Amino acid sequence: MASTHVAHVFLWFSLAWLAAVSQHASAQEDTQTDPSATEQTDHIIVSEAETFSVEVVSEGAEVPWALAFLPDGTALLGEREAGRLSFLNVETGERRIIDGLPDMLRNGSVSSGLFDVRVHPQYTENGWIYIAYGVGEETKNGLAVDRIRIEDERVSARENLFNSTPRISGKWHFGGRLVLSGGYLFISTGDGYDHSVLSQSLEAHAGKILRLHDDGRVPDDNPFVGTEGALPEIWSYGVRNPQGMTVHPDTGEPWLNEHGPQGGDEVNIARAGENYGWPVITYGEEYGGGPIGDGITHHEGMTQPRYYWVPSIAPSGAAFYTGTAFPGWRGNLFSGSLAFTHINRLVVEDNRILHEERLLADRGWRVRFVEPAPDGSLYFGVDDGMIMRLVPTN
Protein backbone atom coordinates (compact mmCIF):
# COMPACT_ATOMS: atom_id res chain seq x y z
CA MET A 1 0.00 0.00 0.00
CA ALA A 2 1.49 3.33 -1.06
CA SER A 3 2.26 5.78 1.68
CA THR A 4 -0.04 8.76 1.74
CA HIS A 5 0.33 12.35 2.69
CA VAL A 6 -2.97 13.63 3.98
CA ALA A 7 -3.78 17.14 5.02
CA HIS A 8 -6.40 18.43 7.42
CA VAL A 9 -8.44 21.51 6.75
CA PHE A 10 -9.94 22.88 10.04
CA LEU A 11 -12.61 25.51 9.89
CA TRP A 12 -14.30 27.31 12.80
CA PHE A 13 -17.90 28.02 11.78
CA SER A 14 -19.95 31.06 12.71
CA LEU A 15 -23.72 30.76 12.52
CA ALA A 16 -23.60 32.45 9.11
CA TRP A 17 -20.98 30.00 7.82
CA LEU A 18 -18.36 32.71 7.64
CA ALA A 19 -15.03 31.02 8.09
CA ALA A 20 -11.32 31.42 8.34
CA VAL A 21 -9.45 28.54 6.83
CA SER A 22 -6.15 26.97 7.81
CA GLN A 23 -4.52 23.79 6.64
CA HIS A 24 -2.58 21.30 8.74
CA ALA A 25 0.00 19.45 6.67
CA SER A 26 3.31 17.74 7.19
CA ALA A 27 6.33 19.91 7.95
CA GLN A 28 7.57 19.38 4.39
CA GLU A 29 4.29 20.51 2.84
CA ASP A 30 2.90 23.96 2.11
CA THR A 31 -0.27 25.42 3.59
CA GLN A 32 -3.61 26.22 2.04
CA THR A 33 -4.22 29.76 0.88
CA ASP A 34 -6.92 31.81 2.59
CA PRO A 35 -9.52 32.45 -0.14
CA SER A 36 -9.52 36.13 0.76
CA ALA A 37 -5.88 36.34 -0.38
CA THR A 38 -6.95 36.22 -4.05
CA GLU A 39 -6.87 39.75 -5.48
CA GLN A 40 -9.24 41.17 -8.09
CA THR A 41 -8.76 44.43 -9.98
CA ASP A 42 -11.19 45.51 -12.73
CA HIS A 43 -12.15 41.92 -13.54
CA ILE A 44 -8.55 40.71 -13.54
CA ILE A 45 -7.95 38.14 -10.83
CA VAL A 46 -4.49 37.65 -9.38
CA SER A 47 -4.08 34.23 -7.78
CA GLU A 48 -0.98 32.55 -6.39
CA ALA A 49 0.37 31.14 -9.64
CA GLU A 50 -1.62 32.80 -12.44
CA THR A 51 -3.50 35.94 -13.40
CA PHE A 52 -6.80 35.43 -15.21
CA SER A 53 -10.26 36.71 -15.98
CA VAL A 54 -13.64 34.99 -16.14
CA GLU A 55 -15.70 34.87 -19.33
CA VAL A 56 -19.31 33.72 -19.59
CA VAL A 57 -19.75 31.28 -22.48
CA SER A 58 -23.39 30.25 -22.13
CA GLU A 59 -26.32 30.56 -19.73
CA GLY A 60 -29.57 28.76 -18.98
CA ALA A 61 -28.41 25.17 -18.60
CA GLU A 62 -30.23 22.91 -16.11
CA VAL A 63 -27.55 21.69 -13.69
CA PRO A 64 -24.65 21.43 -16.17
CA TRP A 65 -22.81 18.31 -15.04
CA ALA A 66 -20.23 17.57 -17.74
CA LEU A 67 -18.38 19.10 -20.67
CA ALA A 68 -16.25 17.25 -23.22
CA PHE A 69 -14.45 18.63 -26.26
CA LEU A 70 -14.54 17.14 -29.74
CA PRO A 71 -11.48 17.33 -32.01
CA ASP A 72 -12.95 20.28 -33.95
CA GLY A 73 -13.21 22.35 -30.76
CA THR A 74 -16.97 21.97 -30.38
CA ALA A 75 -18.02 20.99 -26.88
CA LEU A 76 -20.57 18.43 -25.74
CA LEU A 77 -22.57 19.72 -22.78
CA GLY A 78 -24.44 17.35 -20.47
CA GLU A 79 -27.24 18.71 -18.26
CA ARG A 80 -28.18 16.40 -15.41
CA GLU A 81 -31.51 17.91 -14.46
CA ALA A 82 -32.79 18.12 -18.03
CA GLY A 83 -31.32 14.78 -19.08
CA ARG A 84 -30.07 16.64 -22.13
CA LEU A 85 -26.96 16.45 -24.32
CA SER A 86 -26.11 19.35 -26.64
CA PHE A 87 -23.44 20.65 -28.94
CA LEU A 88 -22.09 23.87 -27.46
CA ASN A 89 -20.47 26.48 -29.68
CA VAL A 90 -17.92 27.97 -27.30
CA GLU A 91 -17.57 31.13 -29.41
CA THR A 92 -21.25 32.07 -29.62
CA GLY A 93 -22.75 30.15 -26.69
CA GLU A 94 -25.29 28.51 -29.03
CA ARG A 95 -26.53 25.09 -27.91
CA ARG A 96 -27.94 22.53 -30.34
CA ILE A 97 -29.84 19.69 -28.67
CA ILE A 98 -28.96 16.11 -29.63
CA ASP A 99 -32.01 13.89 -30.04
CA GLY A 100 -32.39 10.16 -29.46
CA LEU A 101 -30.84 9.71 -26.01
CA PRO A 102 -32.00 6.66 -24.04
CA ASP A 103 -34.79 6.89 -21.47
CA MET A 104 -33.39 7.90 -18.10
CA LEU A 105 -34.55 8.54 -14.56
CA ARG A 106 -35.52 12.19 -14.28
CA ASN A 107 -37.49 13.10 -11.21
CA GLY A 108 -37.42 16.40 -9.32
CA SER A 109 -36.98 14.61 -6.00
CA VAL A 110 -34.16 12.36 -7.25
CA SER A 111 -30.64 13.64 -8.08
CA SER A 112 -30.61 11.74 -11.34
CA GLY A 113 -30.59 12.34 -15.07
CA LEU A 114 -27.63 12.60 -17.42
CA PHE A 115 -24.33 12.37 -15.58
CA ASP A 116 -20.97 12.23 -17.34
CA VAL A 117 -20.07 12.59 -21.02
CA ARG A 118 -16.67 11.49 -22.33
CA VAL A 119 -15.17 11.36 -25.82
CA HIS A 120 -13.14 8.30 -26.86
CA PRO A 121 -9.44 9.17 -27.27
CA GLN A 122 -9.63 7.75 -30.83
CA TYR A 123 -12.87 9.57 -31.62
CA THR A 124 -11.73 10.62 -35.09
CA GLU A 125 -11.38 6.93 -36.01
CA ASN A 126 -14.37 5.38 -34.18
CA GLY A 127 -16.81 8.22 -33.38
CA TRP A 128 -17.70 6.86 -29.91
CA ILE A 129 -19.01 9.08 -27.12
CA TYR A 130 -19.68 7.64 -23.65
CA ILE A 131 -22.56 8.68 -21.38
CA ALA A 132 -23.58 7.74 -17.84
CA TYR A 133 -27.15 8.22 -16.67
CA GLY A 134 -29.66 7.19 -14.01
CA VAL A 135 -32.24 4.49 -14.73
CA GLY A 136 -35.27 3.04 -12.98
CA GLU A 137 -37.50 4.84 -10.49
CA GLU A 138 -37.18 6.34 -7.02
CA THR A 139 -37.82 3.03 -5.28
CA LYS A 140 -35.61 0.93 -7.57
CA ASN A 141 -32.84 2.64 -9.50
CA GLY A 142 -29.26 2.46 -10.64
CA LEU A 143 -26.63 3.65 -13.09
CA ALA A 144 -26.27 2.80 -16.77
CA VAL A 145 -23.44 3.53 -19.21
CA ASP A 146 -23.76 3.57 -23.01
CA ARG A 147 -21.56 4.48 -25.90
CA ILE A 148 -23.18 6.38 -28.75
CA ARG A 149 -22.45 7.85 -32.16
CA ILE A 150 -24.02 11.10 -33.30
CA GLU A 151 -24.92 12.18 -36.83
CA ASP A 152 -26.84 15.32 -37.75
CA GLU A 153 -27.63 16.16 -34.13
CA ARG A 154 -29.15 12.76 -33.45
CA VAL A 155 -27.93 9.51 -31.88
CA SER A 156 -27.27 7.20 -34.81
CA ALA A 157 -25.89 4.21 -32.89
CA ARG A 158 -26.06 3.14 -29.26
CA GLU A 159 -24.54 0.26 -27.30
CA ASN A 160 -25.37 -0.35 -23.64
CA LEU A 161 -22.14 -1.27 -21.83
CA PHE A 162 -23.14 -1.40 -18.18
CA ASN A 163 -26.13 -1.56 -15.82
CA SER A 164 -25.60 -1.54 -12.07
CA THR A 165 -26.94 -4.29 -9.85
CA PRO A 166 -28.78 -4.61 -7.56
CA ARG A 167 -31.24 -1.78 -8.13
CA ILE A 168 -31.74 0.12 -4.91
CA SER A 169 -34.19 2.62 -3.43
CA GLY A 170 -32.82 6.11 -3.01
CA LYS A 171 -32.62 9.69 -4.20
CA TRP A 172 -28.90 10.47 -4.08
CA HIS A 173 -25.35 9.19 -4.57
CA PHE A 174 -25.28 7.76 -8.08
CA GLY A 175 -21.61 8.56 -8.69
CA GLY A 176 -21.70 8.62 -12.48
CA ARG A 177 -18.23 9.77 -13.54
CA LEU A 178 -16.37 8.16 -16.45
CA VAL A 179 -12.76 8.15 -17.63
CA LEU A 180 -11.03 6.35 -20.50
CA SER A 181 -7.40 5.33 -20.17
CA GLY A 182 -5.23 2.73 -21.88
CA GLY A 183 -8.15 1.09 -23.66
CA TYR A 184 -10.18 0.79 -20.45
CA LEU A 185 -13.35 2.49 -19.25
CA PHE A 186 -13.52 3.35 -15.55
CA ILE A 187 -16.91 4.06 -13.93
CA SER A 188 -17.62 5.56 -10.51
CA THR A 189 -20.72 4.50 -8.60
CA GLY A 190 -22.16 5.94 -5.40
CA ASP A 191 -23.49 4.09 -2.37
CA GLY A 192 -27.13 5.18 -2.81
CA TYR A 193 -26.94 7.24 0.42
CA ASP A 194 -29.03 4.88 2.56
CA HIS A 195 -27.08 1.80 1.44
CA SER A 196 -23.54 2.50 2.61
CA VAL A 197 -23.03 -1.12 3.65
CA LEU A 198 -23.03 -2.03 -0.06
CA SER A 199 -19.74 -0.16 -0.52
CA GLN A 200 -18.02 -3.03 1.32
CA SER A 201 -19.89 -5.78 -0.56
CA LEU A 202 -18.31 -7.35 -3.62
CA GLU A 203 -21.77 -8.57 -4.61
CA ALA A 204 -23.03 -5.05 -5.42
CA HIS A 205 -21.84 -2.36 -7.81
CA ALA A 206 -22.73 0.48 -5.42
CA GLY A 207 -19.82 2.39 -3.85
CA LYS A 208 -17.20 1.19 -6.34
CA ILE A 209 -14.80 2.07 -9.10
CA LEU A 210 -15.42 -0.32 -11.99
CA ARG A 211 -13.19 -1.21 -14.94
CA LEU A 212 -14.26 -2.46 -18.36
CA HIS A 213 -12.67 -2.63 -21.76
CA ASP A 214 -13.83 0.36 -23.78
CA ASP A 215 -16.26 -1.94 -25.64
CA GLY A 216 -17.87 -3.11 -22.38
CA ARG A 217 -16.11 -6.46 -21.95
CA VAL A 218 -14.80 -7.36 -18.50
CA PRO A 219 -10.98 -7.55 -18.43
CA ASP A 220 -9.63 -10.95 -17.41
CA ASP A 221 -7.15 -9.32 -15.02
CA ASN A 222 -9.69 -7.37 -12.97
CA PRO A 223 -8.86 -8.12 -9.32
CA PHE A 224 -12.03 -10.03 -8.42
CA VAL A 225 -12.53 -12.06 -11.56
CA GLY A 226 -12.98 -15.64 -10.37
CA THR A 227 -13.77 -14.65 -6.79
CA GLU A 228 -16.92 -16.46 -5.73
CA GLY A 229 -19.88 -14.10 -5.44
CA ALA A 230 -17.91 -11.03 -6.54
CA LEU A 231 -19.01 -8.89 -9.46
CA PRO A 232 -16.18 -9.05 -12.02
CA GLU A 233 -16.40 -5.38 -13.06
CA ILE A 234 -15.15 -4.19 -9.64
CA TRP A 235 -11.72 -2.54 -9.72
CA SER A 236 -11.69 -0.97 -6.23
CA TYR A 237 -14.29 -0.42 -3.53
CA GLY A 238 -15.26 1.25 -0.26
CA VAL A 239 -16.14 4.68 -1.68
CA ARG A 240 -19.15 6.84 -0.85
CA ASN A 241 -20.10 9.15 -3.73
CA PRO A 242 -17.32 9.90 -6.24
CA GLN A 243 -18.46 12.92 -8.25
CA GLY A 244 -15.07 13.69 -9.74
CA MET A 245 -12.73 11.38 -11.64
CA THR A 246 -9.88 12.08 -14.02
CA VAL A 247 -6.72 10.45 -15.38
CA HIS A 248 -3.25 11.40 -14.19
CA PRO A 249 -1.42 12.66 -17.30
CA ASP A 250 1.82 10.81 -16.52
CA THR A 251 0.72 7.54 -14.91
CA GLY A 252 -2.63 6.99 -16.63
CA GLU A 253 -4.18 6.08 -13.27
CA PRO A 254 -7.69 7.28 -12.38
CA TRP A 255 -7.83 9.84 -9.58
CA LEU A 256 -11.15 10.47 -7.87
CA ASN A 257 -12.69 12.74 -5.33
CA GLU A 258 -15.67 11.70 -3.26
CA HIS A 259 -18.18 13.25 -0.92
CA GLY A 260 -17.77 12.33 2.72
CA PRO A 261 -20.66 12.68 5.15
CA GLN A 262 -20.30 15.71 7.44
CA GLY A 263 -16.59 16.17 6.80
CA GLY A 264 -14.25 13.59 5.33
CA ASP A 265 -14.35 14.34 1.60
CA GLU A 266 -11.44 12.48 0.02
CA VAL A 267 -9.04 12.28 -2.91
CA ASN A 268 -7.95 8.75 -3.84
CA ILE A 269 -6.11 6.95 -6.61
CA ALA A 270 -8.18 4.05 -7.95
CA ARG A 271 -5.93 0.98 -7.83
CA ALA A 272 -6.69 -2.67 -8.36
CA GLY A 273 -8.32 -4.39 -5.40
CA GLU A 274 -7.90 -1.52 -2.95
CA ASN A 275 -10.53 -0.86 -0.27
CA TYR A 276 -10.93 2.81 0.64
CA GLY A 277 -12.85 1.97 3.78
CA TRP A 278 -16.27 3.60 3.59
CA PRO A 279 -18.27 3.30 5.85
CA VAL A 280 -15.89 1.47 8.23
CA ILE A 281 -13.33 4.28 8.30
CA THR A 282 -13.93 7.96 7.61
CA TYR A 283 -12.70 11.38 8.69
CA GLY A 284 -16.31 12.57 8.72
CA GLU A 285 -19.20 12.20 11.13
CA GLU A 286 -22.96 11.78 11.03
CA TYR A 287 -25.00 14.73 9.86
CA GLY A 288 -25.79 16.64 13.02
CA GLY A 289 -22.80 15.14 14.82
CA GLY A 290 -21.78 11.79 16.26
CA PRO A 291 -19.49 9.00 15.04
CA ILE A 292 -20.12 6.83 12.02
CA GLY A 293 -19.83 3.20 13.04
CA ASP A 294 -16.97 2.86 15.49
CA GLY A 295 -15.76 6.37 14.69
CA ILE A 296 -12.37 5.19 13.42
CA THR A 297 -10.13 6.58 10.68
CA HIS A 298 -7.76 3.63 10.19
CA HIS A 299 -8.26 -0.10 9.78
CA GLU A 300 -5.98 -2.88 8.62
CA GLY A 301 -6.40 -3.60 4.93
CA MET A 302 -8.06 -0.25 4.19
CA THR A 303 -6.32 2.48 2.22
CA GLN A 304 -5.87 5.99 3.57
CA PRO A 305 -6.88 8.89 1.31
CA ARG A 306 -4.30 10.95 -0.52
CA TYR A 307 -6.02 14.01 0.86
CA TYR A 308 -9.15 14.83 2.81
CA TRP A 309 -11.22 17.82 3.86
CA VAL A 310 -12.79 18.63 7.22
CA PRO A 311 -15.27 20.27 6.90
CA SER A 312 -16.54 19.00 3.57
CA ILE A 313 -16.15 21.14 0.47
CA ALA A 314 -18.39 18.73 -1.55
CA PRO A 315 -15.94 18.22 -4.45
CA SER A 316 -17.30 17.77 -7.96
CA GLY A 317 -16.00 17.15 -11.50
CA ALA A 318 -12.20 17.01 -11.61
CA ALA A 319 -9.42 17.40 -14.16
CA PHE A 320 -5.64 17.61 -14.31
CA TYR A 321 -4.44 20.71 -16.13
CA THR A 322 -1.91 19.99 -18.89
CA GLY A 323 -2.32 23.04 -21.12
CA THR A 324 0.10 25.84 -21.94
CA ALA A 325 -2.10 28.90 -21.36
CA PHE A 326 -1.51 28.67 -17.59
CA PRO A 327 2.04 27.30 -17.16
CA GLY A 328 1.90 27.86 -13.39
CA TRP A 329 -0.96 25.38 -13.16
CA ARG A 330 0.51 22.55 -15.22
CA GLY A 331 0.10 19.20 -13.48
CA ASN A 332 -2.33 20.63 -10.92
CA LEU A 333 -5.55 18.83 -10.03
CA PHE A 334 -8.66 21.01 -10.31
CA SER A 335 -12.18 20.32 -9.12
CA GLY A 336 -15.32 22.20 -8.25
CA SER A 337 -16.68 22.76 -4.77
CA LEU A 338 -20.42 22.70 -4.19
CA ALA A 339 -20.49 23.48 -0.46
CA PHE A 340 -17.83 26.21 -0.34
CA THR A 341 -18.56 27.47 -3.88
CA HIS A 342 -15.11 27.69 -5.40
CA ILE A 343 -12.72 26.10 -7.86
CA ASN A 344 -10.23 23.97 -5.97
CA ARG A 345 -6.58 23.74 -7.08
CA LEU A 346 -4.31 21.04 -5.68
CA VAL A 347 -0.58 20.97 -6.35
CA VAL A 348 0.48 17.36 -7.00
CA GLU A 349 4.01 15.99 -7.03
CA ASP A 350 4.94 12.29 -7.13
CA ASN A 351 1.35 11.34 -6.24
CA ARG A 352 1.51 13.60 -3.17
CA ILE A 353 -0.75 16.60 -2.68
CA LEU A 354 1.42 19.42 -1.41
CA HIS A 355 -0.75 22.50 -1.45
CA GLU A 356 -4.30 23.77 -1.94
CA GLU A 357 -5.63 27.04 -3.32
CA ARG A 358 -9.29 28.11 -3.58
CA LEU A 359 -10.27 30.27 -6.54
CA LEU A 360 -13.38 32.46 -6.96
CA ALA A 361 -14.56 31.66 -3.43
CA ASP A 362 -16.37 34.99 -3.20
CA ARG A 363 -18.73 34.35 -6.14
CA GLY A 364 -21.19 31.95 -4.51
CA TRP A 365 -21.12 29.57 -7.49
CA ARG A 366 -21.80 25.87 -6.87
CA VAL A 367 -19.21 24.52 -9.31
CA ARG A 368 -20.23 21.20 -10.91
CA PHE A 369 -17.28 20.52 -13.20
CA VAL A 370 -13.92 21.86 -14.32
CA GLU A 371 -12.72 20.98 -17.83
CA PRO A 372 -9.57 22.17 -19.65
CA ALA A 373 -10.12 23.19 -23.28
CA PRO A 374 -7.80 22.42 -26.21
CA ASP A 375 -6.71 26.09 -26.25
CA GLY A 376 -5.62 25.87 -22.59
CA SER A 377 -8.47 27.88 -21.09
CA LEU A 378 -10.24 26.29 -18.13
CA TYR A 379 -14.00 25.80 -18.42
CA PHE A 380 -16.39 25.27 -15.54
CA GLY A 381 -20.14 24.96 -15.04
CA VAL A 382 -22.27 26.04 -12.09
CA ASP A 383 -25.68 25.03 -10.77
CA ASP A 384 -27.10 28.42 -11.73
CA GLY A 385 -26.81 27.28 -15.35
CA MET A 386 -23.77 29.23 -16.52
CA ILE A 387 -20.84 27.78 -18.45
CA MET A 388 -17.74 29.94 -17.96
CA ARG A 389 -14.04 29.83 -18.62
CA LEU A 390 -10.86 31.16 -17.07
CA VAL A 391 -8.61 32.87 -19.60
CA PRO A 392 -5.09 34.19 -19.02
CA THR A 393 -4.39 37.91 -18.74
CA ASN A 394 -1.03 39.61 -18.88
Which residues are known to be catalytic?
Answer: 173
Query: 207: Cβ–Cβ under 8 A, 6 or more apart, which residues?
Result: 189, 190, 191, 192, 195, 196, 198, 199, 200, 237, 238, 239, 240, 278
- Distant-in-sequence, close-in-space partners of 71: CB < 8 Å, separation ≥ 6: 123, 124
- DSSP string for residues in 79-138: ETTTTEEEEE-TTT--EEEPB-PPP---BTTBS-SEEEEEE-TTHHHH--EEEEEEEEET
> What residues does 132 pair with on adjacent strands?
145
Cβ atoms of 272 and 253 within 8 Å: the answer is no
List CB contacts of 196: < 8 A, sequence separation 6 or more: 207, 240, 278, 279
Give me the phi and psi of 78, to 5 degrees please.
-105, 130
Strand pairing report for 140-151 and 129-137 = antiparallel
What's the rounded Cα separation, in Å, for the pair 166 and 304? 28
Rounded Cα distance, 37 and 286, in Å: 32
Contact in structure between 98 and 155 (CB atoms under 8 Å)? yes
- The reply to whether omega before 121 is within 30° of 0 (cis) is no
Of the candidates 234, 169, 166, 173, the residue with the CA atom closest to the CA atom of residue 202: 234
Task: Assess contact for 168 and 195: CB atoms under 8 A.
Answer: yes
Order of strands, edge to edge, in the sheet holding 254-258?
242-247, 254-258, 265-269, 307-309
- Dmax (CA) of the chain: 63
